[in-house]
Structure 1
Amino acid sequence: MSIHIGAEPGQIAPYVLMPGDPLRAKWIAENFLEDAKQYTDVRNMLGFTGTYKGMEISAQGSGMGLPSFSIYCTELLKDYDVQSVIRVGSAGAMHEHVKIRDVVLAQGACTDSNLNQLRFEGIDFAPIADFELLQAAYGVGQDRGTSMHVGNIFSSDSFYNDRSELVSRTSEYGVLAVEMEAAALYTLAAKYARKGLAIVTVSDHLITGEETSAQERQESFGDMVEMALETIVAVHGV
């Protein structure tokens, strides 16, 4: 039993979807998983396990930012032997060709966080997605006709960032969108030799100023969740 999750052995599936919002984890369980049961409410960071197309899959909230995500992801990988984690969340677009409601499959994740600088003592570690999950998600997206992009994203340590020049500078180098967790996922997946992928939906645009409505976010989030679940089936299903 881990400190922050507190689930009993066997209560968490080998494959986990991780939204930031714990209520999103509950929403995933209620709308996409059969016979879902809650295994934790420690600190109100909810987690559930159910089945999708006969496969056991869990949905676990992570909180916002790399430090919070790192706590829950570390415990999932280390204490519960989780094999694959897919982050499902929102992101801000940083390129004009990336549109509102588009899906971004994060091939790699830049970051301004000190977590990896401390871990690697000055070496610029490059956090990247698991190729098998990435390839499967791209195939699922193509089959579904999803408007999607594959490329680099930026995992920021700050939601309200005073350094606006970083947006233009990183976008010049092809960074597609900004969020706050993927770099931690990819680093931890590498540490524990597991699979990790971030699938994010564009909820707002840093260049055009566009934003999605609450209803649009819900609908697009559902499409992304189905895409993530089908990716798990494609990679780990019998």
Structure 2
Amino acid sequence: MTQTLDIQCEANLPVPPAQVWETVATGSGNLRWVFEMEIEPWVGGIVSRGPSTVTVWDPPRHFACLRAIEGFSALLEYRIEAREGGSVMYTSIHREYIHPIDDLDFQRDIAEKHTFFYNHTLEQYLRHFNGRPATFVELLAPAGSQAPDALKKLCHRLGLPDDVAQGDTVQVTLPDAGQQEAVVDYLHPAFLGLRTRDGLYRFFGRNAWGWPIGMSLHLFAEGIDAKHTEQAWRTWLDETFG
């Protein structure tokens, strides 16, 4: 008997459908909020993440892709519905079909929390940086970041106070940008999102599930040196968790 994970997110976004489509259904758009994912723009086209195959291509309304291997398949779907006044109702669907496993609740917890964080980041991009291309940097912290208190340690190193709350404006020290004012746009025991004037900094506390912490940076200033930025953060992560 196949088991199903079904995760859905919805948001009312203050941008026209074409701008949402360009952000979720193109390679350059995905760099602005999620991860590297090139998409061939036709039904049957290849999506590099997975890899998957495009199953629906109806710009700017409906996109879906499917990854299918023995014992597992995963559907990613975006629906974009225009509303009066120029806004959009955006729906994201993440669905997995898997053979029965003992840890389904564990897998659901991981998938739900990551999906919610990614879609929150999409909203942040469209509300605060819409139309700006991104330099994308992705990192994995050393094995020492698997410790139960690793994300808390990272927050302290950034300069966040113990009583910080989502929505707070704080002063943080970033390896790639120095002292910066940032909004804590997302705060969860396993995730941290910081929004600066020119970037979205995403911290994935996967130590909550026994894995190293991950990071993604979506940087919108011109002239960003991705290799220099990656090295600055890698050194910082090694110092913090090495």
Which is richer in strand? Answer: 2
Q: Name the structure, 1 or 2, with higher relative contact order (CA <8 Å, separation 6+).
A: 1
Structure 1 length normalisation: TM-score? 0.27
Larger Rg over CA atoms? 2
Structure 2 length normalisation: TM-score? 0.27
